[in-house]
Structure 1
């Protein structure tokens, strides 16, 4: 049985995940900054196994905490002690000796792992891609290449943040590559020469059939391993580009066929989520000859309307615009589209590249289980840097070892059978009650408030402890979701629903 996660992000909300962390520089025995970063990215088991077996923190004067950029606010010593004394002993398997289980492919072309930079600013220059490759990313989908001039606005980013300032949802009004086609082709040649084993996925956008065909041809000639057709950018100034195409299956098919005429390397169609369903466009792309699908691009959005200026963010000289929304907040929407495409019979034998809100290896695994054979990331890299690849690879590789799975490829689509497009087939005859753990409960009463005002009035407060009224509880689990300490959890047994009297 996989052990319950002991440490969570809330245990280290004050940590800033520093570059060159002072806590690590101050510690002679370990790398606490790296370990804290692993906790943030849900990789505590593998991180704990890299720490000393003996708790060297117990009698330490904690120079790590004194040198922290927030002295006294991050409990580094106690977090490291917890990892050594509680997390490390419960680790089920040793650290894997090789990353070979992560090896996979795109349309038969080998990948060392499934993780890519997605088409955006994070993959827009030679230097950026080179640093990402050195860090361990398997490839990059280069920022969309086009033959028309790009003039960006300033500022062009805005965000919704969480309690500690981390980005939950991210909005951009950025467009395509502002380098010329010739400049981008030179970048491809240099990348392929210096990093021959890395995968270059060339994102392109044309204005007509001739441009789609020509750009695809040029990308192949200059070293790209595959082409991604951007039918989904929500930020284009002119009509007939980006998501305007992705919303019209006939255009998706037409321009996919045009790109395929220009190249023999694999072609993926990147589709827009700004539709009611994605299958129509996906099937159209396959009719046009696409070898696979990429999804999702950003979602059209408005965020952050200033109550004093009355302008949405980002504000550009008193104006703003609908822009693309990304970040962890869009993951449920992305997974919905990925599962839809993954369950489509037309996708059999085709590659699906998934993206949309991926930050941790667990996020990536969810996309793989819904049918994605490769994973693309942007917003998390913009926030945390290329270094997140350490925990993406480390965490997924440890999970595979923990589960006795020899290859990540065995997991592609493994969760699709559990998904239904409607709730019609769900069991409605039993109830799974919550249970409350008094040793964890702090008596805040949040579960009582939520159940009273947003549920079924099934919890009473007795001496600052929650007590369940089984005659009222319907098993909705709202109390579990709002509990800030994890004291509320599902019980282990389902019971039949009481029969209603006629």
Structure 2
């Protein structure tokens, strides 16, 4: 793969410090009208090829002495401004990639979509104005925020984030419920959206409290112009028995309410699955057997975000109290991918269309979901953090990736990774990959030594003269923990050899 798609680039630390401002001062200050903000944003979202393609030639940063962009950087009011000139110069030598004619359109549940990127059912798609803005920017569809027969009484505040070291947003927790608009208001939103954006796809997410409500809601959403109905069987914190994840954990209720929904519509039906269960295939099979067209997965994970050790309260803090809520964001991606793979290798579900979600931030995240069999993608938490504008890099990054790999259609990568995820007993166990040390890159920090000794097999020692790591081969098991923790990426797997 081209180095343009290498995530381990030296400028990551600089790029991650950017505040990703709205109407960025750096861009306004540049006398050469360089799109520094867009370029840095592309780098942040792993779209390095797109960033390189945006660079002008010759690069004005090479001769600019004023550095007005750096002086205008708001990050400087916190600590140090982003070294914009260094970032631009670092990628200027990279070759540009031609964007071939790549087709991002894909059919999902019998519905043709212009690209696989949808807003997922949440606050990011909860009224006409919001969704219209997203459609105008390039999003292909929306799973509108879940509509019910009642308006919930919400709490304040209801969002919080998990941080780690200098990372401000590892995971995200919410205790928000379904739409806070009336049924009549939501129907009006859907009708107007379909009238104004007839080629965009509207997924009406619904949640009833009994069979009659599921049937009625399905009928009303069909009449309002929805293209697909999504049954929310998975909201982790609904205040009421027989709602949300209580349904998704009960195959009998999934069966009952899917059948009730089918009575009210001829449209494709997605059953949205809860991850708060050990085996997602069980309720997923129940949904498909009861008349669902496809599966949406995963919804948020039940969580308690933190405990404040001064007052022993948790967040979101509502007058000193909190509750179990839904965990989302980049941190849940591995969990989402596992559930999706499990369903795609289940013989009863292998042909079921899947709308994947859970931690998608970049085109690369999206491509991983596609590679495990998804044909549609839904995104919320990244939009809440960065805005609808992420669609620009999702589309551009996906097109450039497909172009670089010789693909003509996004559908060509669907399911490509499935043969490579196998049962543990099928993995090769007679060979070993020893670590290979790049002495030029090695900083001599000793992180590999510490991790190997305290968390591995004591197979590394530090050379007294060079302060660089040395392998003790007869102790090494090839686990590659050392390479995983190396901050300089100076350790990689060597060629596999047979065990003695």
Measured against the shorter chain, the TM-score band is over 0.9
Structure 2 residue aligned with 1:397: 399
CA offsets 1:376-398 (integer angstroms, 9 cap, x no match): 00111100110111111111111
- Given candidates 55, 60, 66, the residue that maps to 2:71 is 66
Aligned counterpart, 2:305: 303
Distance 1:178 1:7 in 2: 45
Aligned to 1:465: 468
Query: Within 5 Å, which residues of 2 pair with 1:174-253?
Result: 174-253=176-255
Cα distance, 1:263 vs structure 2: 0.5
Contact 2:71 2:81 in 1 (8 A): no
Question: Structure 1 residue 471: deviation in Å?
Answer: 1.9
Superposed displacement of residue 128, structure 1: 0.6
Correspondence for 1:24 among 4, 20, 27: 27
TM-superposition CA deviations, 1:37-86 (whole Å, max 9, x none): 1111100112102212333312212221111112343111011001112x
Q: Give matches, 1:121-140, under 5 Å.
A: 121-140=123-142
The one-character-per-residue Cα deviations of 1:228-247 (angstroms, maximum 9, x if unpaired) are: 00000011111111100000
Hey, what's the Cα distance between the residues in 2 that align with 1:285 and 1:444? 53
- 1:348-497 superposed matches below 5 A: 348-420=350-422, 422-462=423-463, 463-491=466-494, 493-497=495-499
Matched residue of 2:322: which SS? coil
Unaligned runs of 5+ in 2: none
Counterpart-to-counterpart distance in 2, 1:329 and 1:188: 32
Alpha-carbon distance between aligned partners in 2 of 1:152 and 1:486, rounded to the nearest angstrom: 46
Paired residues of 2:344 and 2:351 also in contact (CA < 8 A): no
Deviations along 1:315-350, one digit per CA (max 9) or x if unpaired, are 111211111111111111110001011112223443
1:162 deviation in Å?
3.8
Match of 1:82 in 2: 90
- TM-score, normalization by structure 2: 0.95
Farther-moved stretch of structure 1 (119-128 vs 409-418): 409-418
**Other-structure match for 1:33:** 37
Counterparts of 2:367 and 2:250, CA distance in 1? 31
Other-structure match for 2:323: 321
Deviating more after overlay: 394-403 vs 52-61: 52-61
C-alpha offsets along residues 13-57 of structure 1, whole Å, 9 cap, x if unaligned? 321111111111122152111111111110011210221233331
Q: Which residue of 331, 344, 348 maps to 2:346?
A: 344
Distance in 1 between residues matched to 2:39 and 2:163, nearest whole Å: 24
Cα offsets for 1:90-137 (capped at 9, x unmatched): x5x3133x4x52111221211111001000000111111011111111
* SS of match in other structure, 1:346: coil
Cα 1:349/1:427, change in 2 over 3 Å: closer
TM-score using structure 1 length? 0.95
Between the two proteins, the alignment pairs up a number of residues equal to 490
Residues 163-206 of structure 1 show CA distances to partners (whole Å, capped at 9, x for unaligned) of 44531111111100011111101000110111111110000000
Contact preservation (8 Å) 1:13, 1:164: no
